[in-house]
Amino acid sequence: MHRHEVFSSSGPPLPELPAGVSAEEVQGPGEGTGPLFHRRYRVRIRECRLAADELMAAIQCRPNATSPTTFARFQRVDGGRGRLSAGDEFVVRMPGPWDGPVRVAHAGPRSFRLATLTGHLEAGQIEFRVAPDGERRLVFEIESWARSSTQLVNLLYDRLRMAKEVQAHMWISFLERVVRLSNGRMTGGIEMYTERIGDGS
């Protein structure tokens, strides 16, 4: 595992909600508190039996196939069955009073992005994407732009770092499950990048 953390005064812009996706109850960074965190988790996979489009299709059809269900389980509450599409809504069930409602902001052949809704621990968006990296090789990334939703969450995440370590473990487990689903082998370990933007004031 390769972990890298940096501080900056400005970072990459938050993706816009596409036209046609409702902004009702979307909890953007403006509704959050504390510093904005730009995070990226990346894994490289070799000897894959699934192509990039096939791997993403499998995840979009069954999000819990790669979700570490001990920490988080996707439950669809709005939208049709089968592969997820823009506008679908899920509640990510987590231990304790931490369930996270999300809306699918974008869904394509090699990526999808979720926007947090009112009541989520975070205020922002998170994207999952895969790309070819040579013959039978893939790169899978999780990228997020978010602030804590409340002062309490900010205390647990940024000050005490408890929620931060739980979150990191959850996404590491997710990536390990992606590797297994691809029928490939991890190469180079997992890269974790965190950019803390501003001081939250």
Q: Tell me if 20 is assigned to some domain.
A: no
Domain that holds residue 32: 2-6+26-197
What number is the average pLDDT over the span 133-139? Answer: 94
Q: Tell me if 133 is assigned to some domain.
A: yes
Q: Tell me if 134 is assigned to some domain.
A: yes
- Residue 164 Cα distances to 85, 122, 161, angstroms: 29, 12, 5
- For residue 174, is pLDDT > 90? yes
Reported as a single tens digit per residue, the pLDDT across 46-92 is: 999 999 999 999 999 999 999 988 778 899 998 878 899 999 999 99
| Number of folded domains that form the chain | 1
Reported as a single tens digit per residue, the pLDDT across 95-130 is: 665 688 999 999 999 999 999 999 998 999 999 999
- By the 8 A CB rule, do 97 and 78 touch? no
- For residue 184, is pLDDT > 90? yes
In this prediction, residue 157 carries a pLDDT of: 66
CATH number at residue 86: 3.30.530.20
Strands 185-197 and 2-8: parallel
Phi, psi angles (nearest 5°) of residue 19 = -60, 140
Name the burial class of residue 135, with classes exposed (0-12), middle (13-18) and buried (19+) by CB atoms within 10 angstroms of its CB: exposed
Q: Tell me if 14 is assigned to some domain.
A: no
Q: Tell me if 11 is assigned to some domain.
A: no
